[in-house]
Amino acid sequence: MARNKYDVDEELQEGFNISHLKRLIRYMKPYKNKVILSVTLMIISSFVSLLGPYLIKIALDDIIPSGNLVNLTILSVIYALSLILVSAFMKQRIITMGKVGQDILVDMRKDLFVNLQTLPFSYYDSRPHGKILVRVVNYINSLSDLLSNGFVNLIADTVTLIITVIFMFVLDYRLALVSLLGLPLLMTVIMSIKKAQRRAHQKLSSKQSNMNAYVHESINGIKVTQSFSREEENMRIYKDVCKQYSDAWMDSVKLNFLVWPSIDIISVASVALIYLFGILVFDSSIKVGVLVAFIGYVWRFWAPITNIGNFYNTIINAMAYLERIFETMDEKPLIHDKVGATILPPIEGHVEFKDVTFMYEKDNPILKNININIQSGESIALVGPTGAGKSTIVSLISRFYDINEGQILIDGIDIRDVTLKSLREQMGIMLQDSFIFSGTIMDNIRYGNLEATDEEVIAAAKVVRAHDFIMEFENGYYTEVNERGSRLSVGQRQLISFARALLADPKILILDEATSSIDTQTELLLQKGLDELLKGRTSFIIAHRLSTIKNSSRIMYIDNGSIVECGTHDELMSLKGHYYNLYQSQYALLNAV
């Protein structure tokens, strides 16, 4: 899962790992009482159902020949009551285990989702989101039948099988031995296709993941697709991806279907042998009732074997999915609280970088020996060419990545010594991607502070000049917006994200290209609100539009991972260096337009 392509199969070359199955069973422990109840009901119902052939044997060999109508009636009532009891127990078992199975799926999906919340940005940048989504939804859903029926049925079928064999040997040990002749042949069939089944199901899970990844990517890029008339080409790719999934599914199904037909053929052959031996070989010593009852037990003998064969298929299928699920669950967050991490106390906003070096890849530093000392309340603007390290600097303050060398201190405290939650709670962050969640505009702004009142939300929106356009919608702040804010313009999404960041009332405010998609008129209005807002707060502002940062306390020009210039706007302009050239080129470009 390391390559970000929908047409590359996920590699997983492990052998069958029994620990995955044990780990799945551990999810059943909180529900062990219900599981035990279901197993008990299944065993009782299995034992009661096995009385049927024996009651028939008694009727055929003893009661009917004697003409005792009363005993035959009693026996019939007992037989009918046994069927009713079996049905009642079966219904209760289905209801109980159905609920248990779904509860376990909820627990697994929660653990998986919780871990996904802790993984770094690099995890999501390096793989298609569709391949992550398929694990949370499809793969876990595929375990439903296994958890609701599989394990309980396996225990019950095993017990049923043992009891059935006992009944068979009690009736006639010779016929019992004949009926067992097909088992070695069945085991040979199962063992011969086991490895092929596993490989087929692993391939199937990869193709399903690929298809989900392409669909997810296509939906996200539908505007680009339609803009460039790529519909036919996309359909060709989708058809190919679906064909690969269909072929993988057919390969796995063909192997699965070798199991239960084999059981059917062998079971029918066993019954034929029973008739052959019972009538031609042992005919003088076997009564009709015994033979009829024995045939009934033979069918009951093969029924749980068929169920166990189906369970085997389910396990092989589930293991392919469990490997992917637990692989994601076991993915370790690169950024986490260290042992003994403390809660960051309320901060003033003094930030210091001491000889900070950072690299995404080994031997390729993005930042080199950065030293910055920012006092509380200062506004620091970061400018420079694309890829110079501006966004990396602000990401390090929030510990989205950990530095390789040096220290980052807030109020003299190393940020690696405090919990992530207490660190990020005291920051307001607006990244370049202005993500809008499905829901109301009010909810989207309140995302920055769940305790905020409606009045506080509206006040934040007014500061960033979002209030006027929000009120133009049909329901104002309670207008529903779609996922990613498709109803909103890029500039409107940025303003709402800005209000969200401001509502957190942070001591450190990080604005990464906060005004890049806002028109000039709105920018002028917004700047007035920002001047008031930034008072008393430490702020880091990344902006390519230099007019928005002229009033910053300091402007730092970042290039090639280093701070090459630092000062106020006037100081840097007087230097006539990198910042001066950047400002002049932008000013000339604006004049030309």
What is the DSSP secondary-structure string of 388-437?
A: SSHHHHHHHHTTSS--SEEEEEETTEEGGGB-HHHHHTTEEEE-SS----
The pair of structure tokens assigned to 155 is 């225990």
Q: Tell me which residue has tokens 């009651």.
A: 55
Question: What residues of the chain score a pLDDT lower than 50?
Answer: 1-3, 13, 593
DSSP character for 560?
A: T
Q: Is the pTM of this model over 0.85?
A: no
d(C-alpha 464, C-alpha 530), whole Å: 7
Nearest to 495 by CA among 520, 515, 513, 480: 515
Residue 585 C-alpha from the chain's centroid = 48
Contact indicator for 205, 321 with CB cutoff of 8 Å: yes
The pair of structure tokens assigned to 310 is 């189906």
What pLDDT, on a 0 to 100 scale, did the predictor assign at position 350?
Answer: 94
What pLDDT, on a 0 to 100 scale, did the predictor assign at position 528?
Answer: 63
d(C-alpha 93, C-alpha 36), whole Å: 10
d(C-alpha 333, C-alpha 126), whole Å: 14
What is the DSSP secondary-structure string of 101-115?
A: HHHHHHHHHHHHHHH
288-329 vs 32-58: helix axis angle to the nearest 10? 160
d(C-alpha 476, C-alpha 462), whole Å: 13
How far separated are the first and last CA of the chain, in Å rounded? Answer: 47
Residue 140 C-alpha from the chain's centroid = 8
What pLDDT, on a 0 to 100 scale, did the predictor assign at position 382?
Answer: 92
What pLDDT, on a 0 to 100 scale, did the predictor assign at position 2?
Answer: 42
Structural domains in the chain, sorted by start: 18-329 (1.20.1560.10), 346-426+506-526+533-593 (3.40.50.300), 435-505 (3.40.50.300)
What pLDDT, on a 0 to 100 scale, did the predictor assign at position 538?
Answer: 92
Residue 476 one-letter amino acid: G
Residue 395 C-alpha from the chain's centroid = 25
d(C-alpha 234, C-alpha 81), whole Å: 61
What pLDDT, on a 0 to 100 scale, did the predictor assign at position 478?
Answer: 92
259-276 vs 183-220: helix axis angle to the nearest 10? 160
- Rounded to 10 degrees, what is the CA torsion of 577, 582, 588, 590? -150
What pLDDT, on a 0 to 100 scale, did the predictor assign at position 45?
Answer: 81
Sheet holding 351-361, edge to edge: 364-374, 351-361, 405-410, 413-414
d(C-alpha 251, C-alpha 267), whole Å: 25
Query: How do residues 198-244 score in pLDDT, each as one tens digit?
Result: 778 778 878 888 888 888 888 777 777 877 778 888 888 889 988 88
d(C-alpha 215, C-alpha 223), whole Å: 14
Helices vs. strands in the chain: H and E counts, helices first:
24, 12
The pair of structure tokens assigned to 51 is 């009385």
What pLDDT, on a 0 to 100 scale, did the predictor assign at position 355?
Answer: 93
